Chains A and B, each alone.
Chain A
Amino acid sequence: MSEQPSKKKFLYINRKAPYGTIYALESLEVVLIGAAFEQEVSLAFLDDGVFQLMEGQDTTGVGMKNFSKTYRALGDYEVRKFYVEKESLAERGLSVENLMPVTYEDEDDDYAEKPSIILVDRAEMAKVIAANDVILSF
């Protein structure tokens, strides 16, 4: 099927930590819906949103579903761009080493595993926002 003219670039902005509110989980649900409709989907993590990608999340004690593994599955839905803001990490005493590895398989490169996480600074994040057609905030 030829590319539909209605294909748009969707950016999901995530600014909340997981589990304290429903935002992070709801964002994931909507991301999956957007991907199913074959739109171009990318994610942005800034402010407390960077906590969504923390390695080693363990929710057994709080009795909530640990949905952190879902981020790693998004590559299979062609969601391959996770823009993570450097300043937001630094403000929270975090670095990219604290985040879970998220990768996708590049079919144009013999299915090589490539990192989905793209570190950007604030000015670059503003450009990422301006490069998208539809912004959904969570």
Chain B
Amino acid sequence: MSTLHTVNKSPFERSSLASCLAHVAQGDAVLLIEDGVTGARRGSSFAEALHAKSPVCAIYILAPDLAARGMKAEDVIEGAKFVDYGGFVDLVAEKTRVVAWL
């Protein structure tokens, strides 16, 4: 009965990621897509907040969006999992509901 949360905006521009992390429940998943992937950058000011949530919910990153922005797997926080578009669909199918944090 858990929720998939998607964040598609940069946390440096909008409060979407902060708001998302404030509303996740145990067992949920957070998927960073589009400009949302920038928040997962290692050493960024949101990396710690994201990492702190990892015991509560899994953090996923849409790999094509990360690659498009010139970042590699080793550039993001430890413990993040990577999915492609098929993996995105699997997450949607696996969870009970999806909340899009715009």
Choose the segment among A50-58, A107-115, A130-138 that binds chain B (4+ C-beta atoms closer than 8 Å).
Answer: A130-138
Give the distance in Å from the alpha carbon of A134 to the alpha carbon of B97 in the complex: 6
B3 contacts A137, CB within 8 Å? Answer: no
The smallest C-beta distance from A43 to any residue of chain B, in angstroms, reads 14
- Please count how many residues in chain B sit with their CB below 8 Å of the partner chain's CB atoms: 16
Known A-B contacts A46-B19, A122-B23, A130-B25; the reply to A137 vs B1 at CB < 8 A is no
Asked if A129 is an interface residue, CB under 8 A from chain B, the answer is yes
Asked if A15 is an interface residue, CB under 8 A from chain B, the answer is yes
Known A-B contacts A15-B19, A46-B19, A126-B23; the reply to A132 vs B102 at CB < 8 A is no
Query: 1/0 contact trace for A116-133 toward B, CB 8 Å?
Result: 000000100111011011
Give the distance in Å from the alpha carbon of A134 to the alpha carbon of B98 in the complex: 8
**Residue of B whose beta carbon sits closest to that of A125:** B23
